[in-house]
Amino acid sequence: KVRRDILAVMRDHRHDDGSYAPLLIRFAWHCCGTYDAERRSGGPNGGTMRFAAEQSDPENAGLGKARDLLAPIHAKHAAAGLTTS
């Protein structure tokens, strides 16, 4: 169900080439890149892209749209166990 909801928001003729897929792939890549080996924190399991420190990083510019697209999906499926961390 989550996958279906992501696919539903991914295709949008009003955006650029008709798909948010490249943006969501970039978002996933940057989520993984937040891992801090020294502190052993962050990364995709840390959900750190939701925090201001990561959001304001210049390398993450433009990823707010991806968060905005995924927020309603997270809210919809949170009761079923979908988490940000």
pLDDT of residue 85: 56
| Tokens of residue 68, six digits | 């905005």
Distance CA 38, CA 80 (A): 33
Q: What is the pLDDT of residues 5-58, one digit of tens each?
A: 999 999 898 888 899 999 999 998 887 777 778 887 766 666 777 888 888 889
pLDDT of residue 9: 93
The alpha helices in 1-43, defined as continuous H runs, are: 2-10, 21-32
| Tokens of residue 11, six digits | 């295709």
pLDDT of residue 45: 67
Residues whose CB is less than 8 angstroms from the CB of residue 23 and which lie 6 or more positions away in sequence, other chains included: 62, 63, 65, 66, 69
Query: pTM (2 decimals)?
Result: 0.76
| Tokens of residue 66, six digits | 């991806």
Q: What is the pLDDT of residues 46-57, one digit of tens each?
A: 677 788 888 888
